[in-house]
Each structure stands twice: as C-alpha cells, then as structure tokens.
A and B are shown apart, each in its own frame.
Chain A
Amino acid sequence: MNRHMFAYLDPTSGSVAYQIALSTFLAAAAAVRMYWKKIQQLFRRNSSNTSVEKKQEENVVGGWSARRP
C-alpha cells in the first residue's frame, strides 16, 4: 500500500508534553531514592565520618545493594 494518504494526523503534542514532564519527575524521584544514602552523605561530609558510615556508603545504595549477588 502506498503510504501517502494526503491525511493530516494530529501530532498530539499537547498530551505528550505533560506525559513526558510527569514521567521525568517520577523517574528522577526513583533515581534520587536509589542514591538517597549517597546524597545524605554528601551533606554530612563536614560532620563526623565514621568508618562504619564509609562502609555503608560503599555498599548500600538506597534500598538496593550495588554488590549484593
């Protein structure tokens, strides 16, 4: 079938904008959740930084462990 239909389809640009904006927000929230411990550590850097916290920083990222099998 020839694809040229002289059709004019609505690009639905209006709905795409808010769908992308909301999805981006939620994905960013998920990323922040994963890196939450690291972000917290970033702000605590000037306070006492125990060896236990250092170990936590290495191994635990949010609810997921980067090195857990």
Chain B
Amino acid sequence: MIGPSKWYSRAGFLCCLIVFPFLTFLANNEYGFFYPEVIVASALLLIPCLLLSLLTRRNIFATVVVILVALSGAYPLALLFHGSIRWQIAAAMLAFGAGMAVWIMRDRFYPVLVVFTSSGLLIAVAAHMPWKSWSHAAFSRAQPKHIVWILLDEQMGLAGFPVTPACSEARDELRQVLTKYNFTIYPDAYSNYAGTIDSVPSILNERLLRYPHELIDRTGQGNLRQYRIRGNRTFTGFAAEGYRVVAYQYASLQFCQPYVASAECHNYTLSLSNLHQAPGNWRDRFRWLVGNYQASDPVRSYTRGFFFFRLGVRMPGPLGVSEIWPDHLAADILSRDRPIFFFAHLLTPHSPYLYRSDGSVRDLHEWSDDRADERVNAAEYQDRYRRYCEQVQYVSSQLDRFLGTLRTHGRLDQMTVVVHGDHGSRIRLNLDASAQAPEYEDAETLDKGEDTDGRDLMNHFSALLAIKPAGAEKPRISNERHSILTLLDRDLFRQNPADGTAQTDLVYLIDPQRQYRPVQIAKYWR
C-alpha cells in the first residue's frame, strides 16, 4: 500500500498539499505549466515538502498533514458556504475531519488524499483547456432600436486631460472618433464620486448616495472582494419598457443580477494567462504568479503559500477585457433581433497603463508596479499620464472599430449609444514635493488637512460623457459643466435629477467620519 513510511512517499503527499494548489491556481488562470517562472516557483515549493518529509514521521507527520489540509481547504470550504461561515471555522472543521479520518483510516488516508488533490488539479486543467472561448452567434437581419451603454473605467473627460503633447493627441483622437459617429460630447462632465463602487451605482440608480457605499454590498476580504449593486433602476426601467437586458461585467463588480430576472449577465475575469500578451522576462512573471497566488486565498496570504517570501498582488486590468472588447461585443449586438439594453463595464483604460497607442503591450517591467491611488512625484506623474494617454489612444481606436462595425452593418444610426467614464484617471501628484507622499491615500477620501487642489479634483472627477441619440445626423459639443448624473437625467432620461441640480452638480469626498463632504467643483475647474 502507498504509505508514509518512506521519506519520498511523505514528500509526495506533502506535494499534493503544497505544490498542487499552486498548479491548480495556474490552471484556473489558464496559465501553462511549462514556463520557467512556473518551474522555478514549483521547485521552491518542493523545498518545504522535502524538509518536512525528512524531519517528520508517524504521528508528527500525520499532524502536519492535518494542519496542511485545514490550511489549504479552509477558504475553498468557506466559499462553498457562500461566506456564511468564516474561514477559521472552516479550518477547525477540516482539522477535526482530517484528524478523524487519519485516526480511523490510518495509512489508507494518504492514497485518498492523493486522489482528492490530484483529481482537483486535473479537473481544473480540463475545465480551462484552450478550447474555451467566447462564442459568436450569427448576425441578425432585423434592425431593432438597441440602447448601447459602454462604461469605460477610469476614462476622464476631454477637458480633464493634462496639456502635454501625448495627452493632447489622445484628447483629439477621442474627440474625432466621437464626432465621426455623431455623438453629443460633454468635455466638462464629471462624476459625483471618485470611485467605481459609488459612482456607477449612483448613475444606474439615477440618484445621489446618502452615505458612502450605500448602494453596493461587499463580500470577501483583502483583495478578494466582490461587489454587488443594491438595486438597479436603469436596468429595471429598460426591462419594463420591453428591452432585453444584456450586460457584460467584471466578475468582481456585479451590476447586473438579480434585479432583472431575465437579464443576461456575462462575467469576464482577469485571467493571468493574458500576461503572455506582454513581453517581459521570467522573473517579472514569477513575481506576478507568486504574488497573486499568495493573495488568492486569505489563509494563503498568512502562510505566503509556503514560499519563503511575500510578493505583492497585481491586476492585469485592461488585458482582461481584450477577449471581448471590441469585436465580441459588436458581434453580440449584431446577433440580436429584438431590442436590447446592452451594458458593458470595461476595465479600460483602467490602470495599469500598459498599451501603447498602436495596441502593442509594453514590457512588464514598465507597468508591473503601477499602483492605483499612490501619489507620485512630478516626473512619475508625467510618465504615468504619458502612458495613460497612449492607452486612451488605443481605447479610442477600439471604440472606432466597435462603432464602425455597427455602422457597417447599418445598425448604428437607429441605436442610442452612451459612452461614459465612471471617474477620472486616479493618477495623483504629490502636491507637497518637499514632504513624503502618503503611500496610499484613497482618492475617494479627503486629504489630510482637507486641502483641495484643482489638479486633484480634475484627476479624480473629470469623466467622459458622450451620447449619440437614435437618428443623430451631426455631432455636437456641449460645454456645460455638470455632473454625468445631471446630464444623463436631462438628455437621456428626460427628467430632472431626483436630488435637484444644485446637489447633483457637487462632487463628494469622504471625510474621516466616513460621511460625504460636498465640494463645489465648479470653483476649481480650469
């Protein structure tokens, strides 16, 4: 029988609990195994397996196995209960269960453990084989009057771009694309809130929030957060008018279900396999893989995933939307034969700023360490905006491709299209160059000392808004200074803002008491 009497058998059992979870994480991220960074990481994980197998025997080995089972299975078990039990409780349950199993089954427990862990890995590999892709339906011949709503995360308004050659070019390109398709553009529009989890629920529910995060529920902890909107007046309103609601959303930011039962909600994830689009050496990829693996489970973040070091978590951001945007979304719209309200929340030009204007991806080391919300010095501020603006240029070309496809098929003219950003760029200058910049100070909160600076407000709040009404025959520029909420209420929904224009034209930062502090942004707008 396969038993733990030999050191190499013990090492094999420990590999199942220490190395296999890492390989399963890679399989779930559709990341291949035969890359130098994966081989190095796996080899490093073999070290604790070998050490523990040589240092422990019999009951001590069994105790180590029970502890590892509890540590590796706690968070997945808690997820199975949809977070209704804490992972600590799940770990205690697993430790008790594994302890009982070892006591009753003795050495026969280990083969069962091998079957359990190796089948988990094989299932993950099988479920994420390369043949998985977004399906394409045939184009419909019908010409229904769709409403298309494209939400570009972190897309600032035309007036918000800094005056630099790269940004002037980006602003002009974005304006040209929107003008080409007869949009009404609002260069001075701004969001009421500096974060997605407040600005989008506010816009979709057509009202201001009474307190921070009023319209969003959060589950999970650390970086493993999932947000779910509480109510969605826009979706339910269009569904009530007879539109079929179709939404594409990032899996962690749920704006779709369950408020419209018939809604089609498609989730995309930020799979690490997208890193292969970016040039870079294996050491950069190793940092990505290990850092994100360590952050992929709260227990793992304590144990460092059994590595001897800790690395930071990183988000591939816009790389994750490349599978659906723009071609798949355009094809989906063209396949519909009855009116749809089509909503897509795209994590682009969201940080990190990795695309060049031609759509090629920068080397990993250029953008791997970009972190949202950190204040940076003047040189870094210029560099970030240069990369941000190049990314905006690429987004403009994607938008052009998307709208061009719809126009080529003769569908665009009768559609209403809304394109908007949820807030500004989140690139922030260290305003007091003589002082140490606070490493992390959320863009949604008031700065210490409550100084408000025009550049900061522009960075936080300037947000794109462009609306193409059905049948629009020429473009228009509206230089009004209003919030997106005010302008959408007036020009799309044909109603007055529920909270009154005076309130919806303020912007809101969060004070230390976690209350909203209104700011008269008009005073600071350049």
Contacts and interface: CB of A to CB of B under 8 A. Distances in A.
B504 to A, nearest CB: 26
Interface in A4-52: 4-13, 15-20, 22-24, 26-27, 29-31, 34
B430 to A, nearest CB: 16
B228 to A, nearest CB: 12
Nearest to B105: A31
Contact of A3 (B106, B250, B310, B442): B310
B74 to A, nearest CB: 12
B269 A12 contact: yes
Interface string B274-306: 000000000000000000100110000100000
B5 to A, nearest CB: 10
Q: Which residue among A13, A29, A31 has the maximum number of chain B CB atoms within 10 Å of its CB? A: A13
A24 B253 CA distance: 30
A65 interface: yes
A27 B112 contact: yes
A55 B418 CA distance: 79
Contacts of B295: 3, 9
Contacts of A6: 371-373, 440, 442
A11 B371 CA distance: 20
B311 A1 contact: yes
A46 B80 CA distance: 41
A5 B314 contact: yes
A5 B313 contact: yes
Interface residues of B, number: 54
A27 B112 CA distance: 5
A64 B108 contact: yes
Given A5-B314, A16-B80, A34 B111 contact: yes
Contact of A5 (B24, B253, B310, B372): B372
B115 A26 contact: yes
B117 interface: yes
A9 B226 CA distance: 8
A9 B270 contact: yes
Contacts of B80: 16-17, 20
Interface string B95-135: 00000000001111001110111011001100100000000
B312 interface: yes
Contacts of A16: 76, 79-80
B227 interface: yes
A61 B250 CA distance: 50
A2 to B, nearest CB: 6
Contact of B1 (A4, A5, A7, A65): A65
Interface of B: 1-2, 24, 28, 76-77, 79-80, 82, 105-108, 111-113, 115-117, 119-120, 123-124, 127, 220, 223-227, 250-253, 267, 269-270, 292, 295-296, 301, 310-315, 369, 371-373, 439-440, 442
23 contacts: A3-B223, A3-B295, A5-B371, A6-B373, A8-B226, A9-B270, A9-B315, A10-B267, A10-B269, A11-B224, A15-B127, A16-B79, A19-B120, A19-B123, A20-B120, A23-B117, A26-B115, A26-B116, A27-B115, A30-B112, A31-B112, A64-B2, A68-B1
